[in-house]
Amino acid sequence: MAQSNVSGFPRIGPRRELKFATEAYWAGKTSAEELTKVGADIRRRNWALMRDKGVDLITSGDFSFYDQVLDTIALVGAVPDRYGHSGGKVDLDTYFAMARGRQTEDQDVIAMEMTKWFNTNYHYIVPELGPDTQFELSSDKPFDEYLEAKQQGVQTVPTLVGPLTFLLLGKGAPGVSDDFRTLDLLDAVLPVYEQVLAKLGDLGAEWVQLEEPVLAQDRTPVELAALTRAYERLAKVAGRPKILIKTYFEHAGEALAPLVDLPVEGLGLDFVAGGKNHALLADYGNMEGKTLFAGVVDGHNVWINDLAKSLKLLGQLSEVASEVVVSTSCSLQHVPVDLTLDPQLDPEIAAWLAFAVQKMDEVVILANGTREGVEAIASEIESNAKALEARRTSSRSVNPSVRDRMKALNESDFSRSSQYAQRSPIQKSQLNLPLFPTTTIGSYPQTDGIRRARAALRKKEISKEQYVQAMKEEVERVAKSAR
């Protein structure tokens, strides 16, 4: 019987409650207890929402006060020495110090490096590792959140960043030799993962989700061998939950064969960004004895699913796996929370969109269709097809003149009429650019002046024109200071 699953849900809260709560805590306006209560309220609402919507396999552990890799750093105790952590549980202030730095009368330490989470707009804290890094279980987060949900009457699938992803996303700590490879720490970190699996099993978890998105990148034979070694060891943990390995953002490539061969119970693949996964599975042959978590609902963008197309794919996938679970391609943290919270959206465009809540509905609809047949969701498929066709033909998404110009292109349009040596002097004289022209990426710092101006505009203490002028002056000030 086909079940439904969501890989993760937005943690920011429907009204950005987490953003405001963390900023208030950082500013010293609220206590740690108040911040943790906001987090608990968001988790409780998320679990209740997914349960009431009919999601069968609901995740826990996807919530984070900062990011999931930093959570893993805390979990395995890989805190750099400069933060003064002397062992035991990693407290909230040490956690945030790693993310933001810490400046007090007694301490002035910089934050750890932050970089983009694959091809998303989210970022993660980069683990700093070395041959002397010691690992120990230093956080109860997976257990506490699993028990929170269980007390709420919700059986969840705890989710963790997998050991390969954790190590391969890390970097050598300051002063470490260039010869050091973070993957050399695999045997050192695995005992912590073994402890986590054993304890989650003792608490009653039926599944645990280990996220390994690095397997959607090109991996060396040494790294693939490490994958096999790691999960063969984790699979031997007595009393453990069933293990689900999830990878996303692309197809699994050469990692697919070793993944299918692992002695684990579930494999999650992205069939949106990783469309090639279908052909790879067909070439491999059979996933006998394993559950395939089929990521057919896009967790990476805001457009509605093509339900008929996804249902057909799910039928094909059921021929190569013992059981298929309908899932999202990745966590839904990359999309806004709920379309209904934005009533000012143009109704025509809103019909083409699906945020996290609506994508959860799509997952449940597809699970029902897979389980009961296409007739059971005929009305949903019909309305979905109308919305897709409306977007395809709307003048707001299709510009006929642009389409006509594209069709008229020929080979000569892709060839330069002059050589670079001729073009370069002309470009220099007309554009007058500096030697290395650059622009900014992202936003300028949110200074106190910007915040005051924004607050004054909301309170109607200044006009829109005054606000625009204040922003222009601030942009000019920041640009000049960056020279």
pLDDT in tens, 72-104: 999 999 999 999 999 999 999 999 999 999 888
Both tokens of 122, joined, read: 């989210």
Both tokens of 32, joined, read: 């740690």
203-222 average pLDDT score: 97
pLDDT at 252 over 90: yes
What is d(CA 311, CA 350) in angstroms, rounded to the nearest whole number?
A: 23
Parallel/antiparallel/unpaired status of strands 156-161 and 207-211? parallel
What is d(CA 103, CA 97) in angstroms, rounded to the nearest whole number?
A: 9
Parallel/antiparallel/unpaired status of strands 58-60 and 156-161? parallel
355-368 average pLDDT score: 98
Return the pLDDT at 204: 98
SS3 108: strand
- What digits encode the pLDDT tens for the residues 122-175? 999 999 999 999 999 999 999 999 999 999 999 999 999 999 999 999 999 999
Both tokens of 408, joined, read: 């008229």
Cα angle 264, 182, 229; round to 5: 25
Q: What is the mean pLDDT of the chain?
A: 94
Q: Which residue has the tokens 């293990």?
A: 243
Which residues are CB-contacts of 260 (< 8 A; sequence separation ≥ 6)? 267, 284, 287, 290
Both tokens of 109, joined, read: 């330490």
- Which amino acid belongs to residue 391? R
Both tokens of 210, joined, read: 């280990």
Both tokens of 273, joined, read: 């960004």
Return the pLDDT at 445: 66
- What digits encode the pLDDT tens for the residues 398-438? 888 898 999 999 988 888 888 999 998 998 899 988 888 87
Q: What is the CATH number assigned to the segment(s) 3-393? A: 3.20.20.210
Q: What are the domain boundaries of the chain?
A: 3-393, 439-483
Report residue 442's pLDDT band, with 50, 70 and 90 as the boundaries.
low
- What digits encode the pLDDT tens for the residues 258-286? 999 999 999 999 999 999 999 999 888 77
- What digits encode the pLDDT tens for the residues 58-80? 999 999 999 999 999 999 999 99
Return the pLDDT at 441: 61
pLDDT at 481 over 80: no
210 forms beta bridges with 160, 245
Residue 120 is given by DSSP the state S
pLDDT at 182 over 80: yes
Both tokens of 451, joined, read: 């915040």
Q: Which of 59, 101, 93 is nearest to 74 (CA)?
A: 93
Residue 449 φ/ψ region, left for φ over 0, alpha for ψ in the -120 to 50 degree band, beta for the rest: alpha
Q: Which of 56, 63, 260, 240 is nearest to 160 (CA)?
A: 63
- What digits encode the pLDDT tens for the residues 283-342? 887 788 899 999 999 999 999 999 999 999 999 999 999 899 999 999 999 999 999 999
Return the pLDDT at 440: 62
Q: Which of 293, 248, 297, 244 is nearest to 274 (CA)?
A: 248
What is d(CA 279, CA 90) in angstroms, rounded to the nearest whole number?
A: 44
What is d(CA 219, CA 256) in angstroms, rounded to the nearest whole number?
A: 11
43-69 average pLDDT score: 98
**Percent of the chain scoring above 70 in pLDDT:** 98
| Phi and psi at residue 381, to the nearest 5° | -65, -40
